[in-house]
Structures are given as structure tokens and as C-alpha cells.
Amino acid sequence: MAEGETRDPAVDPRDPDRLIADFAGRVPGVLRAAVVASDGVLLAVSGRARPGQAGADELEQLSAVTAGLISLASAAARVSDGGAVTQALVTMARGTLVIMAIDQGSSLAVLASAGADLDTVAYEMTMLVAQAGGILTPPAR
């Protein structure tokens, strides 16, 4: 890159929002995807909304729900001596929320439509985490 030239972050393959947006657009049945830190901070999302825009509150709620569910699943695993949590599912009348642990610090949450092939969604989530997990992990605070 020439001196003084700026790089468009939208074309950076290491941009977490772009990775998640590409995933959501590529995998059939995925309505929304997000990467959430263990404390509920939204790290990346498909279709980021600015504060005050329609959908911004839903993103914050999705982040909080994801962090809470993975925390509960981890507690259940500890109580039952089940080992590390790899995935949690919430099946609803009109869709499924699939949460996959990326590492101790973050999780990938995917809201899929009721007709989505969950095997395909889970496979693609696994591939995304395996290939880009380091980019989707928050730095130590």
C-alpha cells in the first residue's frame, strides 16, 4: 500500500464484522449471526446497527442472551462434570438459536430460520470457528 493511502476495512478479510456478514449471507437459513464476548459485549455481527437505529436494541439483547446462555450451559457442565461446553441450542417455533463456543472468551451465536438445515448451519459454524477463531477472539482485558 502506498504511503498516505488508506485501507477500506470492508475489504479486509480479517474484519470480524465482514467475516460474520459473509457467513450469514452464504449459509442458507441463517437470519443473523454474532460473536459475543463472555461478558456480553458484541464483538462482531452480520448487519451492525448503530445506537438508536432499528435493530440496535435487538443486537444488545442477543448479546446478553448469548452470554447468559453460554454461562448457564458452562455451569451445567461443571455441575455434571460434562467437560467444556461446545454448543447450546434453543429451539423455538419460528427458528433456532445455535451458540458455539469459540474459546473461553467468546461465542458465535446464530439465529436460523425454522426451515434451516441445522446440520449444515452447525458444520459451517464449526468451519468458521476453526478457520477464523483467532480473529473472533477478544484481546485480553
User: Which pLDDT tens digit goes with each residue over 6-34?
Assistant: 444 444 557 888 999 999 999 999 999 99
Kindly state whether residue 138 falls inside one of the protein's structural domains.
no
State the DSSP code for 53.
S
pLDDT computed for residue 49 by the predictor: 56
Q: When comparing pLDDT for 139 and 16, which is higher? A: 16
Query: For residue range 40-79, what is the model confidence (pLDDT) as tens digits?
Result: 999 999 876 555 555 667 888 899 999 999 999 999 999 9
CATH number (domain holding residue 60) = 3.30.450.30
For the sheet with 95-103, list strands across it.
42-45, 30-37, 106-113, 95-103, 87-92
> Domain containing 60: what range?
14-132
Mean pLDDT of the chain: 84
Question: Is residue 93 assigned to a domain?
Answer: yes
Residue 137 located in a structural domain: no
DSSP state of 116: S
Greater confidence, 4 or 71?
Answer: 71
Q: Is residue 140 part of a domain?
A: no
pTM above 0.85, yes or no: no
Q: In this structure, how many other beta carbons lie within 10 angstroms of the beta carbon of residue 58?
A: 12
139 DSSP 8-state letter = P
How many domains does one find in the chain?
A: 1
* Domain contains 89: yes
The answer to whether residue 2 is domain-embedded is no
Closest by Cα among 64, 38, 66, 60 to 48: 60
Considering the domain boundaries, does residue 97 fall inside one? yes
For residue 124, is it within any domain?
yes
